[in-house]
Structure 1
Amino acid sequence: MKKVITLLFLVTVGITQAQEAFKGKGDVKVNVGANLQNGGSGIQGSVDFGLGENFSFGFVANYLLGVDNFSGFYHNDVTLYNDSKADFGDRFDAKARINANLSSVIGIKELDVYPGLSLGLHNFGGHVGGRYFFTDGFGVFTEVGFPIAKYGNNNDPFYNLNNQTTFSLGASFNL
């Protein structure tokens, strides 16, 4: 029963003390969290700079810490892979991005919903995310990213790392 009461208290305080999630021009948000995708998981960091009431640009980078090794033939190629490991270029991705910040449009100032586009090392893609701020400086975020146009060829067993639908969640900070 103590756990239920504590949870209800935290939810109530979090809702009643919530702060504005996106203020517009001059606003700076930093996200740090986990990146999850098929075949690997890692860390992600991003920064977004407000340019207007509903528009921001930023950068995102992620690095996959845990990646499944590959053994066997890839796409019926004649090359046999034996416990191959992903190199740095397969694990790392960096992107420039633009967002449409919709908190003022949807009328919930504590929740920043932001669809956007990104141009990175592995693909041109899109993302949809959300941030909720409990205090003026601290909140949580979640984001789903997806490729629209992939770069390179599909001859590498690690081609899909950072080149597929990804899910991220973590902490968000207001600078």
Structure 2
Amino acid sequence: MADLIFPTQSDNSDDDALDDGAGLITTPMSSEEGIPFDLIELLFFAYRDFTRDPDEILQEFEFGRAHHRVLHFVNRNPGIRVADLLDILQITKQSLGRVLKQLVDKGYIIQKQGPTDRRQRLLYPTEEGRSLALALLRPQSERIAKALLDASPGERQVIERFLMSMINGEQQGDVRSFVKTGQPVSEIETK
């Protein structure tokens, strides 16, 4: 990993020479701003490393993170409706359409019409799609297992509560249900 070099505040008046009148700031933000930089930066770095291994695998297929998310949720809930996937991912139909087309064309996902409503599109993984989803999840699972190795069950619950609290309040119930069942709330309600 490259060294991170953060400039330190200097007593050098050369900083004044840098100011071209555009409001140049030469001092770093600090905790005096009331912002938890340590936690924000830990989240940045954790997310970077959490996604690094799957990103490398995805590059081999010329796929990106959107492909990863679609593969994940289709494999977690085979037969998921496109509408439910859009709700989960919070992306546009156009963005999902592009990603789905690539995954269908390359044989990772199959799209079928709904049994009662022919306008409905249901998504299923293929064996190749399941295999790729698992290959993407394994390094992430190993990273989580390693991070939790020394955590007590109580500490794990604190971590889960923290992560749930990071989700928008109005969506927490739906996410909690999905995590427990692997099914979008709309499907739970119709069963």
| Interval of TM-score (by shorter of Structure 1 and Structure 2) | under 0.3
More strand by share: 1
More helix by share: 2
Q: TM-score, normalised by structure 1?
A: 0.23
Bigger Rg, structure 1 or 2: 2
Q: Relative CO higher for 1 or 2, CA cutoff 8 Å, sep ≥ 6?
A: 1
Q: TM-score, normalised by structure 2?
A: 0.22
